[in-house]
Amino acid sequence: MSNDSATLTQPEVKSERAKAIEYLRNDYLKSGDTVYVILRHVSQSGMSRFVDLYVVKNGRPLRITWTVATALAMRYNRKHESLHVGGCGFDAAHSVVYDLAWALFGDANALSHSWL
């Protein structure tokens, strides 16, 4: 999964997204799971948040940020090693996890989130 949409054609982007969604659904997340979110950075203007996403499996935290960025076709910020979420006045973690649950399960409430 490259997540470098600037060099991929539209069909390749769709294929990468589908692979990431299948990977997350089959290997990491099931309905009812909690996604843990860490706020890594806020832009100086306050208009962007950079978050890191984790799940806990077998008592171990697993980082899923890159794969979620691919699955949701969101920007991954290499400088902050995190998912770029633009905008303000909303809960960035809720927004990302809501979109992720919809993409994986067709039910926006299938996953919950918790800030760390």
> What pLDDT, in 10s, does the model give residues 21-69?
999 999 999 999 999 999 999 999 999 999 999 999 999 999 999 999 9
Name the helix (H) or strand (E) containing 76: strand 76-77
Name the helix (H) or strand (E) containing 66: helix 65-71
How much is the pTM? Answer: 0.89
Closest CA to 104 of 11, 30, 10: 30
Q: What are phi and psi of 58, to 5 degrees?
A: 55, 40
Q: What string of H, E and C letters represents the secondary structure of 26-44?
A: HHHCCCCCEEEEEEEEECC
Percentage of residues of the chain with pLDDT beyond 70: 95
